[in-house]
Amino acid sequence: MRSEFARRLSLLYAEEVPAYATLVEVCQEINAERTRHSATQLRLGSLERVTAERHGAIRVGTAEELRQVGRIFAAMGMHPVGFYDLRDTGRTPVPVVSTAFRPIDPDELAVNPFRVFTSVLTADDRRFFDARTQDDLERFLAARTLFSDELLGLAERAVADLGLAEDEAQRFLDLATGCFALSEDPVDERWYRRLEAISSVAADIGGVSSTHINHLTPRVLDIDELYGRMSSRGIEMISEIQGPPAWSGPEVLLRQTSFRALAESRLLRNADGTVVQGSLRVRFGEVEARGLALTEAGRDRLDQLDREVATRLSADPSLVRTEVAAQLFDAGLPHDEQGFLDQGLAWFRFAVNPAAIPPGPRPQSLPELVAAGWLVAEPIVYEDFLPRSAAGIFQSNLTGGGSSDTHAQASPRDIGWLREVLGTEVANPDDLYAAQSRASAEAALAELDAACA
Ligand code: OOG
Ligand code: NI
């Protein structure tokens, strides 16, 4: 159901946003070339996985809408992972907090890793909304229904029975996909513009009576190459790739770039009630490259390198960011997977070397067991998001600066709030990577013990 949902959303989005179809085409071209030339690219996922791989982004208005969409995702084996607060990350604050719904189990990830970055509006946050606007927002949102009872009923059954019969699954998928199509209902222009003056994200969420997929992002094995090829096809990308720079070692964490929101024609209702053809600019195209999942030590090292890049650039503004970053990363990080393993900077899964167990004494540590050929280590791919990049992605598509009062009262939101709203545990990404790594190491060591006994 998850694979089919991702496939259907992809068809829908390609129809709504033709530039997305071009993006997917270029990604597939590059992925096929890269895997033909070097098998090492596929250490972070099979070609089938990478070709079908997408993340989506959606935005909902209330805790109740978030809870409901959480049940729909649960029906497809997608669980909340991570808590992202985008209200004060980045240059322009955005009145949302977010989580990602995704598969957790390694086998499920291998089948289809579809994940959806899901944001919920913080209508009670005084930094953005005064009491009257909060009231109006809450009334507007309470009056709309995003997810029908039929869809929610099927979701509950799928969760309880671990799936649905074929005809019900088809119905579930039709209804679920339909919820994310861009609506043709007229948008109340005065209401929309009032929210847009505060935040265009608030308008996109609370200014319309339905929701829609905001973007759908394919994965590419060489994002630097993609950046150039899209530009030569006449699609203008935002000025930078978000996340770690291009450097000579393995891809780490997540690098993303996007092309600007496209103006899409929408029906607008004027103050006097007449409906006119207008246009709104809220959706965009995004692409990403995924690399090694880093440990806390690995992420600390990257943060430290980022700070050094910033220091150098502010000391000499004539320097080129990408060049400075590449130099510092080359000097400050190991250049191969074994180096990341030795220094405890990335997560790996372990297995007994299928070739042969080497002669001689057996080393103690996991890195030594790998270096000496007793075990093999497979890197774990980063399956999550980066708050700073997410803020950058939101930002690159905001129509205006918006307005917020940084001294006013924030509304309390944290992972505990999220857990309560969803009625389920919200996983911490690091715990998931650590558990996967530990389980594989324990199994591999037990197998070695048995083989050597
Ligand atoms: C979500 C922005 C974050 C990403 O890939 O980091 C995101 C949104 O625009 O709703 O999708
Ligand atoms: Ni995204």
Give per-residue pLDDT as tens, 59-103. Answer: 999 999 999 999 999 999 999 999 999 997 767 789 999 999 999
Task: Check if the interface score ipTM surpasses 0.95.
Answer: yes
What pLDDT shows up at residue 393?
79
Could you say which ligand is closest to the alpha carbon of residue 121?
A: 1
Q: Is 99 close to ligand 1, i.e. is its CB under 6 Å away?
A: no
Asked whether 405 and 127 are in contact (CB, 8 A), the reply is: yes
Q: Is 255 close to ligand 1, i.e. is its CB under 6 Å away?
A: no
Asked whether 228 and 257 are in contact (CB, 8 A), the reply is: no
Mutate to test the pocket of ligand 1, among 120, 122, 215, 253 (most ligand atoms within 8 A of CB): 215
3-state secondary structure the chain: CHHHHHHHHHHHHHHHCHHHHHHHHHHHHHHHHHHHHCHHHHHHCCHHHHHHCEEEEEEECCHHHHHHHHHHHHCCCCEEEEEEECCCCCCCCCCEEEEEEECCCHHHHHHCCCEEEEEEECCCCCCCCCHHHHHHHHHHHHCCCCCCHHHHHHHHHHHHHCCCCHHHHHHHHHHHHHCCCCCCCCEEHHHHHHHHCCCHHHHHHHCCCCCCCCEEEEECCCHHHHHHHHHHCCCCECCCCECCCCCCCCCECEEEEEEEEEEEEEEEECCCCCEEEEEEEEEEEEEEEECECECHHHHHHHHHHHHHHHHHHHHCCCCCHHHHHHHHHHHHCCCCHHHHHHCCCECEEEEECCCCCCCCCCCCCHHHHHHCCCEEEEECECCCCCHHHHHHHHHHCCCCCCCCCCCCCCCCCCHHHHHHHHCCCCECHHHHHHHHHHHHHHHHHHHHHHHHC
Which amino acid residue places its CA nearest to atom 10 of ligand 1? 57
Partnered with residue 255 across adjacent β-strands are 289
What pLDDT shows up at residue 358?
85
pLDDT confidence tier of residue 244, bands split at 50, 70 and 90: very high
Domains of the chain as residue ranges with CATH = 2-292+384-422 (3.10.180.80), 296-379+438-452 (no CATH)
The three-point CA angle 101-105-106 to 5° equals 115
Q: Is 284 close to ligand 1, i.e. is its CB under 6 Å away?
A: no
Q: pLDDT above 90 covers what percent of the chain? A: 72
Ranking 17-31, 77-91, 161-175, 394-408 by mean pLDDT, the lowest is 394-408
What pLDDT shows up at residue 233?
82
Ion ligand 2: residues, CB < 5 A: 57, 217, 286
Q: Is the pLDDT of residue 432 over 80?
A: yes
Q: pLDDT tens digit string along 321-341?
A: 999 999 999 999 999 999 999
CA 352 remoteness from chain centre: 33
Q: Is 370 close to ligand 1, i.e. is its CB under 6 Å away?
A: no
Which amino acid residue places its CA nearest to atom 11 of ligand 1? 57
Which amino acid residue places its CA nearest to atom 7 of ligand 1? 390
DSSP annotation of 366 reads H
What pLDDT shows up at residue 409?
78
Q: Is 57 close to ligand 1, i.e. is its CB under 6 Å away?
A: yes
What pLDDT shows up at residue 2?
96
Q: Is the pLDDT of residue 395 over 80?
A: no
pLDDT confidence tier of residue 259, bands split at 50, 70 and 90: confident
pLDDT confidence tier of residue 387, bands split at 50, 70 and 90: confident
Q: pLDDT tens digit string along 145-174?
A: 999 999 999 999 999 999 999 999 999 999
pLDDT confidence tier of residue 38, bands split at 50, 70 and 90: low
Q: pLDDT tens digit string along 361-370?
A: 899 999 999 9
Average model confidence (pLDDT) for the chain?
Answer: 91
pTM: 0.94
Q: Give the Cα separation of 293 and 29 in Å (integer).
A: 25
- Give the residue, 21 or 240, on which the prediction is more confident: 21
Q: Is the pLDDT of residue 35 over 70?
A: yes
pLDDT confidence tier of residue 40, bands split at 50, 70 and 90: low
Cα of 307 from ligand 1 centre, angstroms: 24
Q: pLDDT tens digit string along 277-311?
A: 998 887 888 999 999 999 999 999 999 999 999 99
Cα of 386 from ligand 2 centre, angstroms: 10
Cα of 160 from ligand 1 centre, angstroms: 30
